[in-house]
Structure formats: structure tokens, C-alpha cells
Amino acid sequence: MSLNPDCKRDDIGSQLAARDHAAWAAGQAARRSGAVWSALTPEPRRRRNADELTAAAEAELSARQAWRDSPAGRLKAALSVLQQTARTLDQRAEALREAASRDPDVAADLWPQRREDLRRDTARLRHALHQVLRALP
């Protein structure tokens, strides 16, 4: 499942704009923090305009996509899916175990409803594991 690239670019652009503003504000605050020799201070931080932010967001998006497409990126994404799938399966199994501990009759009633969920999660887990094995060098 991937998000719309324009949404990602907008999100990245917003993050970059917020970072630029924070750096600019910190620079402005530092300018008022005591006496300095004018020739020894760094150039004040300036905020990027909309075109510069758009270009920076596109560059960041391209860099992220290139990393995602790299062997390390594919492996990390596959491992993340595997972990999330394993957590989901573990939570379902834990809920059934707790139900069986509290009242075996309730657990027996829940079992038919939960069986398909467990089968589906197990299939997802096998698929996720297969993706991890494919991503390994």
C-alpha cells in the first residue's frame, strides 16, 4: 500500500518548512543573546521560498524512494511487515488463550468466529516471511 506521491511531497514540504522556520527562529533568538563581533558571526539563517521548499521536498521524496527501492530498504520494509503481522497474530492468539483461561465454554463459542481470522493472519505471516527471505542478500 503506497500513498499518493503528491501527499508525501506535501507532507515532506510541510516538515521542511517547519524545520526552516525553527532554525530561522533559533537564529533570530541567538542574535539577541549577547554581544558579538559583527565580523565573526555566521550569516543569518534565511527561510526558503515556496519554490525552494518544493524542490527540496521533491529531492527528499526521490531520496526516500531510492532508499526504499534499495536492497536494505526492501529488507527493512519486509521485516516491518513481518513484525506487524506477527504482533497481530500474537494478539489474536493471546485473546483466545485468555478467553480459554477465563471460561472454556466462551472460548469454544469464540473459536469458530476467530478461526478464519487466525487462518488469514497465518497466511499473511507466511507471505511476509517469504518477502523477508526474498529481500535477504
**One domain for residues 62 and 108:** no
Question: Which pLDDT value is given to residue 35?
Answer: 60
Domain count for the chain: 2
**One domain for residues 8 and 62:** yes
The number of helices, as runs of H, and strands, as runs of E, in the chain is: 4, 0
**One domain for residues 78 and 23:** no
Residue 112 binned pLDDT confidence (cut-offs 50, 70, 90): confident
- Answer yes or no: is pLDDT of 2 > 50: no
Is residue 87 within 8 Å of 31, Cβ to Cβ? no
- Answer yes or no: is pLDDT of 17 > 70: yes
Give me the mean pLDDT over the 1-19 stretch. 71
**One domain for residues 100 and 65:** no
Tell me the residue range of the domain where 4 lies. 1-31+49-69
User: Backbone phi, then psi, for 9, in 5-degree steps?
Assistant: -60, -40
CA distances, 79 to each of 19, 52, 106, 123, 132 (Å): 30, 35, 35, 16, 6
Listed residue (88, 98, 95) closest to 121, CA to CA: 88
Question: Which pLDDT value is given to residue 127?
Answer: 96
Range with top average pLDDT, 62-71, 88-97, 126-135 = 126-135
pTM for the model stands at: 0.58
Is residue 44 assigned to a domain? no
- Answer yes or no: is pLDDT of 39 > 70: no
- Answer yes or no: is pLDDT of 13 > 60: yes
Look up residue 49 and give its amino acid: N
Is residue 119 assigned to a domain? yes
Question: Mind listing the pLDDT tens digit for each residue in 75-108?
Answer: 999 999 999 999 999 999 898 888 888 888 877 7
Query: How far is the C-alpha of 71 from the C-alpha of 80, rounded, in Å?
Result: 14
